Amino acid sequence: MKFSKIKIIGGGLVGLSLAYKLTRLYNKYEVCVFEKEKKPGLHQSSRNSGVLHCGLPYKPGSLKAKLTNSGFKQIKDFCKEYNVKYDICGKLIPAYSVNEVEKLKELLLNGQLNGLQGLRILAPDDIKRIEPNINCKAALHVPEEGIVDFKGIVNKMSDLIIQNGGKIITDLYFTKNNIEQNDLIINCGGLYSDKIFEDLTGLKSDIKIIPFRGDYYKIKKGIIKNLIYPIPDKKLPFLGVHFTRLTDGSFEVGPNAALAFKREGYKFYDFSFKQLLDSLFYRGLIKFVLKNLVFCLKELISSLSKNMFYKDAVKLLPNLKISDIYNIRRSGVRAQAVTRNGKLLMDFKIKVYKNQVHILNAPSPGATSCLAIADHIINNYLNNKL
């Protein structure tokens, strides 16, 4: 079948990256991005930590590890070429016990297997030179980690798509009624990717997107200099509450990972009865909650209690005072795929159906990996169709 139009559902960074690359490679096709909001990039693409991930904790050989490595380099090049703010400032992962020091060694090896350069476990004196307010036994220094203005990338990429002859149609929720004969469809719907898959294919998805809300608190200047992260939990895809410097010079701590009551529920009280029931009656979520009840309750309470949130933050930075944390500055919602047996998908997930390609799981580091995800889709799923 010869396609005349390429229709991309979702104007987040993954959808925009695909349109950006396709308009450069295949200008004989009409490439169009459909976005349900009034402008692109209003959800996961701009409501995140603003961190440019270099691929430290991901399983070697996984799609996440491969695409983060490539995406990290491509985002840096994009920012250099188009004058978008970014800074490769590095991050520290502190260890406060002998057991945690051993975990740092495992993490260092994992990073090396993923191709990271310059990883070092630092002694206390060296740590103080980088982050004066950290008092710990040791810390893993990750010099390649950085920060970036993802909103700036969204805006520049949108401009380039239009310049290259593509289209961005906003304020339109794409359904199967928008499909015409000879259309090639790419689903980059993020928080609604599973619903879009079911609507367009008529099939039942084997995963469900469960929304996890993350809150970010503003912190006083002078507490940190750059990035401080906890040792990640191998069993969960969340990286934990961490300290971040943003490209505008402000500082934040967050996010937690609380189950949201709505797919785009950016406040604790944002609620959709239909969406909540859809989540609660999904056996995969029931199994996950039963297996991780303490985690789920703690994260939910931390959304209501600054004191509970502070307890997580102070574990990472023991000198932190509760007065150093201001009220919630903003929140984001992570589109996390959950399987029917109660597992959170740790890797990206892509599914093909006829003339449709569905990106069903691309949470963090999806923003960092966006240009590499676009390459992967084009090289593995589209080149033989175009």
pLDDT tens digit sequence for 337-370: 999 999 999 999 999 999 999 999 999 999 999 9
Average pLDDT in the chain? 95
Q: What is the pLDDT of residues 64-79, one digit of tens each?
A: 999 999 999 999 999 9
- Rounded distance between C-alpha atoms, residue 105 and residue 295, angstroms: 26
Residue 40 has a pLDDT of 97
CB 350 within 8 A of CB 188: no
Q: How distant, in Å, are the alpha carbons of 298, 309, 321 from that of 306?
A: 12, 5, 12
In this model, does residue 26 exceed pLDDT 90? no
- pLDDT for the residue 21: 97
241-297 pLDDT tens trace: 999 999 999 999 999 999 999 999 999 999 999 999 999 999 999 999 999 999 999
pLDDT, residue 280, reads 93
Q: At 7, is the pLDDT very low, low, confident or very high (cuts 50, 70, 90)?
A: very high
| Tokens 């944002």 -> residue | 270
Q: Catalogue the E-assigned strands of the chain.
A: 5-9, 30-34, 51-52, 86-87, 91-95, 120-122, 138-142, 146-148, 167-169, 183-187, 207-219, 227-228, 242-245, 251-254, 258-259, 325-339, 349-353, 356-361
- The answer to whether 329 touches 217, Cβ cutoff 8 Å, is yes
pLDDT score of 4 more than 90:
no
- Omega of the bond leading into 232 within 30 degrees of 0 (cis): no
Token digits of residue 45: 């693409």
User: Which tokens go with 36?
Assistant: 């349900």
Closest to 54 (Cα-Cα) out of 381, 374, 369, 386: 369
* pLDDT confidence of residue 133: 92
Rounded to a whole number of angstroms, the CA Rg of the chain reads 21
pLDDT in tens, 108-139: 999 999 999 999 999 999 999 999 999 999 99
Number of C-alpha atoms within 13 angstroms, CB side, residue 238? Answer: 21
Q: Which amino acid is present at 29? A: Y
Please give the average per-residue pLDDT across 307-322, as a whole number. Answer: 93
Percent residues over pLDDT 90 in the chain: 94
Question: Contact, 254 vs 243, CB < 8 A?
Answer: no
The token pair at 165 is 């002859």
pLDDT at 27 over 90: no
Burial grade of 157 (CB within 10 A; 0-12, 13-18, 19 or more): buried
Please name which of 211, 216, 166 lies closest in space to residue 327, comparing C-alpha atoms.
216
Q: What whole-number distance in Å separates Cα of residue 290 and Cα of residue 211?
A: 17
Q: Global pTM?
A: 0.96
**What integer pLDDT is reported at residue 1 of this predicted model?**
60
- Where residue 163 falls among pLDDT bands split at 50, 70, 90? very high
Tell me which DSSP letter residue 344 carries. B
CATH code given to domain 5-382: 3.50.50.60
How are beta strands 146-148 and 242-245 bridged, if at all?
unpaired
Of 147, 139, 119, which Cα lies nearest the Cα of 53? 147
| Beta-carbon contacts of residue 54 (< 8 Å; ≥ 6 apart) | 68, 69, 72, 116, 142, 144, 145, 146
Domains of the chain by residue range? 5-382
